[in-house]
């Protein structure tokens, strides 16, 4: 009976946590977003309120508060870490090994220089105050890293991921993820967890890490394509999602046990899937899951902020947070300029990456557990890290204003202009009609991206040079992933009325100004598509009958221009123009 009661109590606690989280994700955050509060800040504020330092501190005195607070932060933290892993996987999907090679100078050169210089400066300042070399080195190394989770999420919210500033930030963050290995080696050496010397530990960790990454790459390249090919034929999103989650968790586990970051393994899995034809279908399936799990991570960061501690030491906390931001910004800016990054972009990247990251929580926790740092100091720096991470969304808003002001007054106008908006055309469906449109666009040198749900067709026409991707065109997330916001128009050639309606609704909801040309069966479908926002609709039966009528009139002796004019006049009387539907 006791075990049953314990099980019931544990289940109740879990259900309360899930109820709170989904209530925050589905009600609170969207409501705040309508007030122009970004989702990241919404989750952070919610974490402060429902966490152990918010309403949770009175939960023992008032029993009702137990149902609206979360005191077990460990569960939230673990689920939130899954969000970080999923996010790195999604980043890998958006890249390729070729793109990674193009970024190698930023990753290896700029990223390494930023970690070494920032870590050295922070370590020197820490040593001057504490006279503790081990503590200074670990604190400097952990504070030198930035928050991959928050920065990449903010880049997506501001639509900067696919721009130069996004590539620059990502390159530095990727090197920081790789730097986790030597920092953990230093931590184990300082805490006395290993009898080996630091150089031997570094070599051992490097060999294990290389073996893990190589193993993931080889197994992935050999097994990924055939397995995805089999699953795509079934057209079952559930099976595809289960397989992708298996790949992500397996890769993350391998790198984690090898001493690397679990997120790095997920990133490698994303890179491998990015080389397959199913990449966009996987993006559509994983995007909502990533958002929910990341939301839990941001909720956890909010729970770490103790407002009472802020009131007790406001000056020291403010100086520490401001100091971290200033040191990291001042160091990264000249480094970016040394790597020929334009000044405007350099100052923006420096400010966007000026916060400490989630890795600092791990190092500080290790320092507290081993007694390397006094617990009061650990709590102080945990709070500094959480507050700085919570302020990152404001840095993203502030950075463009600062870079613009400095550029006008001191930095000079050496930035290259932003790239022009791409004029590509989106094609939904790649049957005979879709291919004909693609041929016409190519003959006029107009770029396009086609999406087709039949993987066999995708492979067949991709081999012949067509820019066609595999995915479900009814999903708005897919069009986001292919850059629909930069497209000049869309044409829907799908031979399925229900699917065409879903595609038009999804696209018009996200991009109401994008001209959408639709294929329809008859005049009735035409009228409905116009009412949903289509710019132009071409009914197959009507157009084919007109072509037959024109050919007939010409064979009966009418000149081609006369036959065309006769049909044009007839067309004026037919109610399938947009004007007639909006009267």
Nearest to 289 by CA among 29, 24, 89, 36: 89
Residue whose tokens read 């994008």: 514
Reported as a pLDDT band with limits 50, 70 and 90, residue 574 is: low
Q: Supply the pLDDT for residue 1.
A: 52
Q: Supply the pLDDT for residue 192.
A: 57
Please check whether residues 110 and 211 belong to one and the same domain.
yes
Q: 439-487: per-residue pLDDT in tens? A: 888 877 788 999 998 888 888 888 788 889 888 888 887 888 788 888 8
Q: Supply the pLDDT for residue 578.
A: 46
What pTM does this model have? 0.62
Reported as a pLDDT band with limits 50, 70 and 90, residue 576 is: very low
Q: What is the separation of C-alpha 296 from the centre of its chain, rounded to a whole number of angstroms?
A: 15
Please check whether residues 127 and 29 belong to one and the same domain.
no
Please check whether residues 252 and 292 belong to one and the same domain.
yes
Tell me if 358 is assigned to some domain: yes
Question: 454: domain CATH number?
Answer: 3.40.50.720
Please check whether residues 43 and 115 belong to one and the same domain.
no
Q: 244-263: per-residue pLDDT in tens? A: 888 888 888 888 887 666 77
Give the HSE-up count for residue 418: Cα atoms under 13 Å, Cβ half-sphere: 9
- Cα four-point dihedral sign 33, 38, 43, 45: negative
The DSSP line for 68-85 is S----HHHHHHHHHHHHH
Tell me if 496 is assigned to some domain: yes
Question: 225: domain CATH number?
Answer: 1.20.1530.20
Q: 182-197: per-residue pLDDT in tens? A: 776 677 666 655 556 6
Please check whether residues 448 and 532 belong to one and the same domain.
yes
Please check whether residues 523 and 571 belong to one and the same domain.
yes
Tell me if 418 is assigned to some domain: no
Q: Using DSSP, how many helices (H) and how many strands (E) does the chain show?
A: 29, 6
Residue 480: Cβ within 10 Å count: 17
Tokens at 385, concatenated: 């890290």
Last residue within a domain, chosen from 367, 388, 411: 411
Domain count, the chain: 3
Tell me if 6 is assigned to some domain: yes
Q: 311-321: per-residue pLDDT in tens? A: 888 889 899 99
Cβ–Cβ under 8 Å, residues 167 and 101: no
Q: Supply the pLDDT for residue 348.
A: 92
pLDDT (average), residues 376-393: 86
Domain boundaries, position 245: 73-411
Helix, coil or strand: residue 425: strand
Q: What is the separation of C-alpha 127 from the centre of its chain, rounded to a whole number of angstroms?
A: 37
Please check whether residues 41 and 86 belong to one and the same domain.
no
Please check whether residues 40 and 103 belong to one and the same domain.
no
Nearest to 495 by CA among 538, 535, 466, 527: 538
Last residue within a domain, chosen from 365, 383, 411: 411
Please check whether residues 327 and 460 belong to one and the same domain.
no
pLDDT (average), residues 5-16: 65
Residue 430 has pLDDT above 70, yes or no: yes
Tell me if 420 is assigned to some domain: no
Tell me if 419 is assigned to some domain: no
Tell me if 399 is assigned to some domain: yes
Please check whether residues 403 and 438 belong to one and the same domain.
no
Nearest to 71 by CA among 87, 47, 35: 47
Q: 265-295: per-residue pLDDT in tens? A: 888 888 888 777 777 778 777 877 777 777 8
Please check whether residues 78 and 58 belong to one and the same domain.
no
Separation CA 521–CA 161 (nearest Å): 39
Please check whether residues 186 and 266 belong to one and the same domain.
yes
Reported as a pLDDT band with limits 50, 70 and 90, residue 3 is: low
Last residue within a domain, chosen from 411, 445, 477: 411
Tell me if 513 is assigned to some domain: yes
């Amino acid at each position: 009976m006791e075990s049953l009661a314990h099980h019931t109590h544990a289940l109740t606690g879990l259900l309360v946590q899930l109820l709170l989280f989904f209530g925050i994700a589905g009600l609170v955050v969207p409501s705040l977003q309508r007030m122009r509060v970004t989702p990241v800040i919404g989750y952070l504020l919610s974490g402060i309120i429902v966490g152990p330092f918010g309403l949770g501190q009175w939960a023992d005195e008032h029993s009702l508060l137990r149902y609206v607070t979360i005191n077990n932060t460990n569960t939230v933290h673990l689920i939130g870490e899954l969000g970080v892993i999923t996010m790195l996987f999604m980043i890998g999907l958006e890249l390729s090994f070729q793109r990674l090679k193009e970024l190698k100078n930023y990753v290896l050169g700029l990223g390494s220089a930023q970690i070494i210089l920032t870590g050295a400066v922070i370590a020197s300042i820490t040593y001057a105050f504490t006279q503790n070399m081990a503590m200074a080195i670990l604190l400097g190394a952990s504070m030198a890293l930035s928050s991959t989770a928050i920065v990449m999420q903010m880049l997506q919210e501001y639509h900067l991921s696919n721009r130069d500033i996004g590539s620059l930030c990502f390159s530095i963050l990727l090197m920081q993820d790789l730097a986790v290995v030597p920092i953990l080696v230093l931590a184990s050496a300082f805490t006395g967890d290993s009898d080996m010397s630091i150089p031997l530990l570094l070599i051992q960790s490097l060999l294990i890490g290389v073996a893990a990454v190589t193993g993931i790459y080889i197994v992935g390249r050999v097994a990924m394509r055939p397995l995805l090919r089999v699953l795509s034929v079934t057209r079952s999103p559930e099976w595809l999602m289960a397989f992708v989650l298996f790949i992500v968790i397996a890769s993350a586990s391998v790198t984690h046990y090898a001493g690397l970051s679990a997120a790095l393994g997920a990133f490698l899995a994303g890179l491998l899937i990015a080389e397959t034809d199913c990449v966009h279908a996987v993006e559509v399936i994983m995007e909502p899951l990533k958002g929910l799990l990341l939301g839990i991570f941001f909720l956890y960061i909010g729970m770490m902020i103790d407002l009472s501690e802020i009131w007790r030491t406001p000056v020291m906390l403010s100086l520490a947070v401001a100091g971290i931001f200033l040191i990291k910004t001042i160091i990264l800016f000249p480094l970016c300029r040394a790597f020929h990054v334009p000044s405007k972009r350099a100052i923006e990247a420096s400010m966007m990456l000026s916060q400490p990251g989630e890795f600092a929580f791990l190092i500080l926790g290790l320092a507290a557990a081993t007694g390397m740092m006094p617990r009061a100091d650990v709590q102080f720096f945990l709070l500094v890290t959480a507050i700085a991470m919570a302020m990152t969304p404001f840095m993203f808003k502030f950075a463009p204003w600062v870079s613009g002001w400095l550029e006008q007054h001191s930095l000079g106008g050496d930035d290259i202009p932003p790239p022009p908006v791409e004029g590509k055309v989106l094609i939904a469906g790649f049957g005979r009609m879709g291919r004909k449109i693609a041929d016409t666009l190519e003959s006029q040198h107009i770029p396009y991206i086609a999406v087709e749900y039949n993987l066999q067709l995708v492979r067949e026409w991709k081999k012949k040079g067509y820019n066609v991707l595999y995915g479900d065109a009814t999903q708005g997330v897919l069009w986001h992933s292919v850059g629909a916001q930069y497209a000049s128009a869309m044409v829907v050639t799908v031979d399925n009325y229900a699917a065409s309606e879903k595609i038009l609704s999804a696209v018009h909801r996200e991009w109401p100004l994008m001209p959408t040309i639709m294929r329809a069966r008859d005049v009735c479908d035409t009228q409905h598509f116009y009412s949903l926002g289509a710019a132009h609709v071409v009914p197959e039966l009507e157009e084919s009958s007109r072509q037959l009528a024109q050919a007939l009139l010409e064979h009966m002796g009418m000149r081609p221009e006369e036959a065309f004019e006769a049909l044009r006049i007839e067309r004026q009387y037919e109610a399938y123009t947009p004007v007639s539907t909006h009267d």
